[in-house]
Amino acid sequence: MEFACVATKPVVLWFRRDLRLNDNPALYHAVATGRPILPVFIQDRDPDRPAGAASLWWLDKSLRALDASLQDRGSRLILRRGDSLIQLQSLIQETGADAVFMNRLFEPAAFARDADIAHELKSAGVDCRGFNGSLLARPGAVLNGSDAPYKVFTPFMKALLAAAEPPPPTPAPRRIDTPDAVQTESIDDWGLHPTRPDWSQGFDWTPGEAGADAALSDFLARGLKTYAKGRDHPALPTTSRLSPHLHRGEISPWRAAQRARDAADAGAVPAAEAAKFVSELGWRDFSAHLLHHFPTMTDRAFRPEYEAMPWRDDPEGLEAWKRGRTGYPLVDAGMRQLWTTGWMHNRVRMVVASFLVKHLLIDWREGEAWFWDTLVDADLASNVQNWQWVAGSGADAAPYFRIFNPIAQGEKFDAEGGYVRRWVPELRRLPDRWLQSPWTAPPEVLRDAGVRLGKDYPHPILDHAQARARALDALKAVTGRD
Ligand code: FAD
């Protein structure tokens, strides 16, 4: 009540997946009103799908970093838990605020919930405004000639680049005025960081806006100049590792794109490398737009005929895959990198996903769920879109009959074995020639390398050629061909 009588009513700034102060349209417009700001984060159940454990680990640190940045500017982050609408209404009642500004979420259920919240607030006379702070273009802004969503990436990206202008950069405000006497919860009570056991010891990340900026600067200086080819080699530090920062909105995708283009304009990197990077950011938008327009793709095959795929029930195979114990070194290296660090290189994500869906013939939804819980960058649209891409059932998918050979992939993209040796250390002394298929090594080579197959490292859980034939056979259920 204390605030209801102040002359300038505060604006509630509802932070969600836009945990940054630079290039934040909702913050920019809130500050432009000249009124006090109430920055709030509400820990509510995600209406599309509750966040996984690794993602919550990240959220914990990201919120702390945002609070510190706000405090540097004379403000602070107000934390609340529970139903978003109820929490916003009570904050409005407590403070006399009459406006709520937010950056939009575009996942189907969150989008619908936000529309309901906006309706309720507006009916109560609250000025409720939404902005796009997370995507290059908002869903609905990139449609084909028949006003329908694109289902193929290349024309989508062409249309996006033609339609969407980079917004002018907006630096973080120097000062943000926030009324003092507003109650907040303590993040320490939220239990977002794992305990008993704390499985996050190997998570080597700096969540938050400064961490995102540092990751981007490092990438521009080191990775971007050879990005197009280097991005396929998991042992090289050639990709940006921006995905978890982008997911939590610690950096705007336009800023990442623009800084890459600026590096090309300054002659520091070839223009084609910067364009490739922007195109990868485009896949993120493509995924988000698809999910927005086709909400059932989270749990149904985008191409309905793929629902006929005869998936196998194989708990042991699934467990070996999750634990990195399949006997295929590149697959195991990827799954162990994921478990240890909360992230996996894109090339290896494709290989491990293909191994699950094709070699093991296990439903892509099982793999998608494991990624969801273990990835720090777990993103509903990108995860589902990419899993369906690998499974052949997606909108613009890899054909199902193209089956990654995990041995050949290792020999091509990890030729010197740096990636496998790092994540599967029990094979580190095996010469390159046998590293991707240890079971083909002569006994004396294994002995000299200190590898006892079946003891130190598993025998392969399946035979590649047989599994490939089985996968192609299974495809007949979809195509109807004999
Ligand atoms: P960079 O190569 O530096 O790319 C820059 C940015 O572009 C990334 O940060 C990401 O935001 C975007 N991007 C790149 N490739 C893709 C792609 N194929 N699809 C969508 N966006 C892309 N990415 C996620 O962010 N969250 C996920 O949950 C996720 N699940 C995946 C599941 C599977 C089975 C596969 C094959 C890929 C998945 N990806 C996911 C996409 C991709 O693997 C990661 O975005 C990428 O590895 C992140 O590393 P980076 O930031 O260094 O990428």
Q: Atom of ligand 1 at shortest distance to CA of 377?
A: 26
121 contacts 98 by C-beta, under 8 angstroms: no
Write down the pLDDT at residue 45: 92
CB-CB neighbours of 146 under 10 Å: 6
- Dump the DSSP string for 390-435: HHT-STTPPPTT----HHHHHHHHSTT-HHHHHH-GGGTTS-HHHH
CA of 278 to the centre of ligand 1 (A): 12
Q: Whose CA is nearest to atom 11 of ligand 1?
A: 243
Catalytic positions: 280, 283, 311, 346, 364, 387
Contact residues of ligand 1, CB 6 A cut-off: 231, 239-243, 246-247, 280-281, 283-284, 287, 346, 349-350, 353, 371, 375, 377-379, 382-383, 386-387, 390
The Cα 233–Cα 236 span in angstroms is 6
What does the alpha-carbon distance between residue 308 and residue 25 come to, in Å, rounded to a whole number? 45
User: For residue 385, how far is its CA from the centre of ligand 1 (angstroms)?
Assistant: 10
CA distance 50 to 223: 33
Pick from 220, 386, 396 the residue to mutate for probing ligand 1's pocket: most ligand atoms within 8 Å of its CB: 386
Instruction: State the pLDDT at residue 164.
Output: 84
Partners of 43 in the β-ladder: 81
Which residue's CA lies nearest to atom 4 of ligand 1?
280
Peptide bond into 155 cis (omega under 30): no
Q: How far is the CA of 212 from the centre of ligand 1 (A)?
A: 15
What pLDDT is recorded for position 482?
66
User: How high is the pLDDT of residue 480?
Assistant: 80
**What are the tokens at 49?**
């799908």
Rounded-to-integer distance, Cα 101 and Cα 90, Å = 16
Measuring from atom 32 of ligand 1, which residue has the nearest CA? 383
What is the atom index within ligand 1 of the atom nearest the CA of 345? Answer: 47
- Provide block-wise average pLDDT over 10 residues at a time, the chain (482 residues): 60 98 98 97 96 98 98 97 98 97 98 98 97 97 96 97 91 95 95 94 97 98 97 97 98 98 97 98 98 97 96 98 98 98 98 98 98 98 98 91 95 98 98 98 98 97 97 90 68
Kindly state the helix (H) or strand (E) to which residue 155 belongs, with its residue range: helix 153-163
Q: How far is the CA of 243 from the centre of ligand 1 (A)?
A: 6
Give Cβ neighbours of residue 329 (< 8 Å, ≥ 6 apart).
410, 420, 424, 427, 435, 436, 437, 438
Counting from 1 in the atom list of ligand 1, the atom nearest the Cα of 242 is: 51
Which DSSP state fits 222?
I
What does the H/E/C string look like for 163-209? HCCCCCCCCCCCCCCCCCCCCCCCHHHHCCCCCCCCCCCCCCCCCCH
Q: Which helix (H) or strand (E) holds 110?
A: helix 108-123
The tokens describing 74, both together, are 């004379």
**193 burial class (0-12, 13-18, 19+ CB within 10 angstroms)?**
middle
Sheet arrangement for strand 11-15: 78-81, 37-43, 11-15, 99-103, 127-131
Q: Encoding tokens for residue 124?
A: 């109560």
The 3-state secondary structure of 445-465 reads HHHHHCCCECCCECCCCCCHH
What separation in Å is there between the alpha carbon of 123 and the centre of ligand 1?
Answer: 40
Q: What does the pLDDT read at residue 2?
A: 41
pLDDT value of residue 42: 98
Residue type, 162: A
Q: Can you say whether the dihedral through the CA atoms of 47, 48, 54, 55 is positive or negative?
A: negative
3-state secondary structure of 350: helix
Q: Which of 280, 335, 344, 374 to mutate to test the pocket of ligand 1 (most atoms within 8 A of CB)?
A: 280
Distance 373 CA to ligand 1 centre (A): 16
Which of 157, 284, 337 for a ligand 1 pocket mutation test, highest count of atoms within 8 Å of Cβ? 284
- Which residue of 232, 382, 393, 402 sits with most ligand 1 atoms within 8 Å of its CB, as the best mutation to test the pocket? 382
- What ipTM was assigned to the predicted interfaces of this complex? 0.99
Residues in the chain: 482
Stated pTM of the model: 0.97
Residue 134 to residue 137: CA distance in whole angstroms: 9
- Return the pLDDT at 7: 56
